[in-house]
Structure 1
Amino acid sequence: MNAPFNKHANNAATHPAYLSVWDIHAYYGESYIVQGVSFDIREGEILALLGRNGAGKTSTLRTIARLDNPTLTKGEIWLDHQPLHKMRSHDASANGIALVPEDRRIIPGLTVEENLKLAQIAPPIGWSIDRVYDLFPRLGERRKQDGITLSGGEQQMLAIARALCRDIKVLLLDEPYEGLAPVIVQEIAKTLGIIRDQGITTVIVEQNAVAALKLADRAVILDTGSVVFDGSAMEVLENEKLRAEYLAI
């Protein structure tokens, strides 16, 4: 099945997109993982980046965040007219990229509040801790608790909250719903909707494709490192053949 999508032929100098990923290619060692991925995201939009295991979703997120692995060998990544593809990870972070990895990276031995304060140790500082607690009341109730003793859902909340403590423009979420009960998934999805309303652009990589699509404005589907669909999330939800072929749902 050849689903239609538009491959971009120009860079961010003429692009109206807030985040523009243009023909990126990336390798883990000698493994060719990301094979010419392109998509645009408007400011304040939620994009679901979907595909089967091994499709290149997490590698694409890590490439946008400018982590050392995978290695970007070709292509451009622009955020609000800034060339992320020319930056290292700390510079990308300073320019507004925040990656919440699948394992959440809660720092052992630190309380909830200490995890949040550590995120604010250097500029650019984003949301205040009180504002974070307004969004995540459960974290406020557990502010003195060791972060790694929280439940899975609470750890995911803390990981997102820690990202918000930086002055971010784009939130990259890798499997935010993994291992969580449906009621917690709904709670986190509601919170991500509130974050969108604050103007933060979000990219979600998620195996629970239906939950991600219900939240997202748009969807990009990858297959073996390449884009096979770029369109509305509703179109994917309504296209049974597309879901079966590329998402196995």
Structure 2
Amino acid sequence: MNVNPAFDDGTGGDATAQAFFSVRDIHAYYGESYIVQGISFDVREGEILALLGRNGAGKTSTLRTCARLGNPELRQGEIWLDGDALHRMKAHEASAAGLGLVPEDRRIIPGLTVEENLKLAQIAPPVGWSIERIYELFPRLGERRRQEGVTLSGGEQQMLSIARALARDLKLLLLDEPYEGLAPVIVDEIERTLGEIRRSGITTILVEQNAVRALKLSDRAVILDTGGVVFDGTAREVLENAALRAEYLAI
């Protein structure tokens, strides 16, 4: 069986240790537009990694490539999740392998209640968290279980989108702009739930324009610029480096 590349955190540790999630020199295109230009990074099991950069840096395209959505098209490179070669898979196969993408537009299914959205996610194995456990994490969803999902508030729809990912057997959660358009009090609640998700052992990659909030929640950070990696290190390093933030994050 093929295994993913050795993880090297640059600290002189055991180079034979395996990266839980590993992106190796991926190149992806929208048609002939070269969007993801040789990106590589590793994520440890159970950590939160902030994937940051200015608008157009390639963050969402990188998430979509990792999720194997087919657009952008991966033309070179490897993507490994817990020993599984995602780069050889289609989107539904990557989902079955434990990858869950929460897109920016949330994609709540019209005509279905909150609970029906969750049950639909569990039609095919592997099944993840029980609906009862999901309602413990998101009490608001439990209160609105019979309400049509698309009629929820923006924050509640974001909760439902995350909950739908958890309804699968999830190893890696990809979040694309989860705070966009939400009131600060709702962002606080989303961050609390992400902390609970981390404590459950699920690894998370977070793309977010509110870089400071994302960094405070995260263990490590990767910064992209024009489709490539310009920084890979701890979140604290970014928070303490004003010049780096000004150049690549405009903060």
- Shorter-chain TM band: over 0.9
* Structure 2 gap ranges (5+): 8-17
1:126 aligned to which of 108, 125, 128: 128
1:51 matches 2:43: no
Q: Map residues 17-96 of structure 1 onto 2, 5 A cutoff.
A: 17-96=19-98
- Which residue is 2:4 aligned to? 12
Report the AA paired with residue 53 of structure 1: N
1:193 aligned to which of 192, 195, 201: 195
TM score, norm. by length of structure 1: 0.95
Distance 1:111 1:140 in 2: 11
- Which residue is 2:13 aligned to? none
Structure 2 counterpart SS, 1:228: strand
Distance 1:28 1:13 in 2: 27
1:222 aligned to which of 221, 224, 230: 224
- Which residue is 2:179 aligned to? 177
Q: Give the deviation of 1:192 after TM superposition.
A: 0.2
1:135 aligned to which of 115, 130, 137: 137
Considering only aligned residues, what root-mean-square deviation do their CA atoms show, in Å? 0.8
Report the AA paired with residue 41 of structure 1: V
- Which residue is 2:168 aligned to? 166
Distance 2:152 2:92 in 1: 28
**Percent of matched pairs sharing the same residue:** 78
Distance 2:58 2:45 in 1: 24
- Residues 39-75 of structure 1 show CA distances to partners (whole Å, capped at 9, x for unaligned) of 0000001000000000000000001000110010111
- Residues 81-102 of structure 1 show CA distances to partners (whole Å, capped at 9, x for unaligned) of 1110011111101000100000
Structure 1 counterpart SS, 2:209: coil
1:234 aligned to which of 236, 240, 244: 236
2:213 aligned to which of 208, 211, 214: 211
Q: Is the 8 A contact 2:5 2:19 kept in 1?
A: no
Structure 1 counterpart SS, 2:178: coil
- Residues 145-191 of structure 1 show CA distances to partners (whole Å, capped at 9, x for unaligned) of 11011000000000000000000100000000000011111110111
Q: Give the deviation of 1:13 after TM superposition.
A: 4.3
Distance 1:151 1:237 in 2: 32
TM score, norm. by length of structure 2: 0.94
- Which residue is 2:155 aligned to? 153
Q: Give the deviation of 1:14 after TM superposition.
A: 3.4
Structure 2 counterpart SS, 1:68: coil
* Structure 1 gap ranges (5+): 1-10
Distance 1:13 1:30 in 2: 29
- Which residue is 1:244 aligned to? 246
Q: Give the deviation of 1:243 after TM superposition.
A: 0.5
Q: Give the deviation of 1:12 after TM superposition.
A: 1.8
Distance 1:147 1:218 in 2: 33
Structure 1 counterpart SS, 2:186: helix
Q: Runs in 1 of length 4+ with deviation above 6 angstroms?
A: none
Distance 2:84 2:164 in 1: 24
Distance 2:87 2:124 in 1: 23
2:113 aligned to which of 89, 111, 117: 111
Q: Is the 8 A contact 2:5 2:22 kept in 1?
A: no
Structure 2 counterpart SS, 1:171: strand
Report the AA paired with residue 218 of structure 1: R
Aligned length: 239
Distance 2:157 2:241 in 1: 34
Structure 2 counterpart SS, 1:66: coil
